[in-house]
Amino acid sequence: MESWRASAACQNVDPDLFFPVGTGAPALVQAEEAKAVCQVCPVRAACLRWAMDDSRQVTGVWGGLTEDERRSLKRRSRRTSRAE
């Protein structure tokens, strides 16, 4: 297990919170609630890095970002690296 997980703010939160189902209003509210946990997390950057680089997580909220937000960030990063 990754050492950063021991310090994660989500340690005692129901993991289902971080995996909203659907795209309707209840799922959006659930994603925002999960992201609020991430906002105060001391290892948010490590979590996001793990989700995007190491494990390539495609679902759920990781490091304070939803799957769509992570995809968008990855696209921006690729465009930036190509422009350099």
Binding residues: 10, 38, 41, 47
Give the 3-state secondary structure of residue 65: strand
Residues 6+ apart with CB under 8 A from 68: none
Cα 50 to Cα 74: distance, rounded to the nearest angstrom: 13
**Residues contributing to the annotated binding site for [4Fe-4S] cluster:** 10, 38, 41, 47
User: How far from chain centre, in Å, is Cα 24?
Assistant: 19
